[in-house]
Amino acid sequence: MRIGAHVDPADPLAEAATRAAEAVQFFLSDPQGWKAPEPREDADRLRAADVDLYVHAPYVINVATLNNRIRIPSRKLLLGHAAAAAQLDARGLIVHGGHVNAGDDLAVGFDNWRKTFAYAADSGGFPVPVLIENTAGGDNACARRLDALARLWDALGDYEVGFCLDTCHAHAGGEELLDLVDRVKAITGRIDLVHANNSKGGFNSGQDRHDNLDGGTIDPELLVAVIRAADAPVIVETPGGATGQGADIAFLREQLGTEA
Ligand SMILES: [Zn+2]
């Protein structure tokens, strides 16, 4: 089981080294902005490294929305990130499930997801696995609770789609962690990546506030059980920089009985 962290994009391999991480996730552009990613000068070094790379798409992306002025640039930005992630031989591109606005029909949101994959297929398909991540909040989300996730996966049935399970988002989003992996896999058939985070917000609070693994409102033993059951690579997106994340990675290795 490869274990790593979400890190600053300036020098991901140095960040991996300070955390003894076997995997890193980072942004390729401002996560709150619409700028397309620039080619990285360290692409060769990143590709050659014995560290698995994951790219997180910007938070502004929402391919589900009925708002054209968000949805259309979201598709383009997602495809641009997939191309840039492929340049790095990234293992996956993580993108949030998105949502529709209050009063809009969620069914259209799921169909907008299908259109996003159709749009990518027109130019040969996404060149890296796209991992859709469950989210914590909102009443009109496509991937907050598993009933919505099942409808999303129905809509995407024709395409190869990956899934990223965020433990903080599941708990804060209102899904019990007990047996969660089985219930997710019954829908998606797969978990490609786990975002291992404790949660500052309580169960079903809707709050996306990550905490270190032994802090927060989730029993750390339950977190470890979910991660073990998922049997997928793990990225911690926890606070405290190299110290906090390094401790979280060491905690997981100890609990899971794996060596770096
Ligand atoms: Zn996450």
Q: What pLDDT digit, counting tens, does each position of 141-195 carry?
A: 999 999 999 999 999 998 999 999 999 999 999 999 999 999 999 999 999 999 9
Alpha carbon of 71 to ligand 1 centroid (Å): 21
What tokens were used for 45? 């070094």
Alpha carbon of 185 to ligand 1 centroid (Å): 18
Q: Say whether 152 sits in a helix, a strand or coil.
A: helix
Alpha carbon of 208 to ligand 1 centroid (Å): 9
What tokens were used for 197? 């985070």
pLDDT band at 258 (very low <50, low <70, confident <90, very high): confident
Alpha carbon of 84 to ligand 1 centroid (Å): 20
Alpha carbon of 158 to ligand 1 centroid (Å): 25
What tokens were used for 157? 């049935």
**How many other CB atoms are there within 10 angstroms of residue 131's CB atom?**
25
Alpha carbon of 133 to ligand 1 centroid (Å): 7
Alpha carbon of 21 to ligand 1 centroid (Å): 17
Alpha carbon of 53 to ligand 1 centroid (Å): 15
pLDDT of residue 248: 98
Distance (Å, rounded) from C-alpha 169 to C-alpha 196? Answer: 10
Alpha carbon of 195 to ligand 1 centroid (Å): 5
> Domain of 84?
3-256
Tell me the torsion sign for CA atoms 7, 174, 114, 63. negative
Q: What is the DSSP letter of 20?
A: T
Neighbouring residues of 243: CB distance < 8 A, sequence distance ≥ 6:
none
Q: Which residue has 């809707």 as its token pair?
A: 206
Query: Could you give the number of structural domains in the chain?
Result: 1
CA 70, chain centre distance (Å): 20
Alpha carbon of 41 to ligand 1 centroid (Å): 26
Alpha carbon of 88 to ligand 1 centroid (Å): 21
Q: Say whether 24 sits in a helix, a strand or coil.
A: strand
Distance (Å, rounded) from C-alpha 123 to C-alpha 256? Answer: 41
Q: Say whether 82 sits in a helix, a strand or coil.
A: helix
Tell me the torsion sign for CA atoms 81, 91, 216, 249. negative
Tell me the torsion sign for CA atoms 102, 138, 157, 176. negative
pLDDT band at 260 (very low <50, low <70, confident <90, very high): low
Q: Say whether 170 sits in a helix, a strand or coil.
A: helix
Instruction: Specify the CATH number for the domain of residue 21.
Output: 3.20.20.150
Alpha carbon of 170 to ligand 1 centroid (Å): 10
Per the prediction, the chain carries an average pLDDT of: 97
pLDDT band at 7 (very low <50, low <70, confident <90, very high): very high
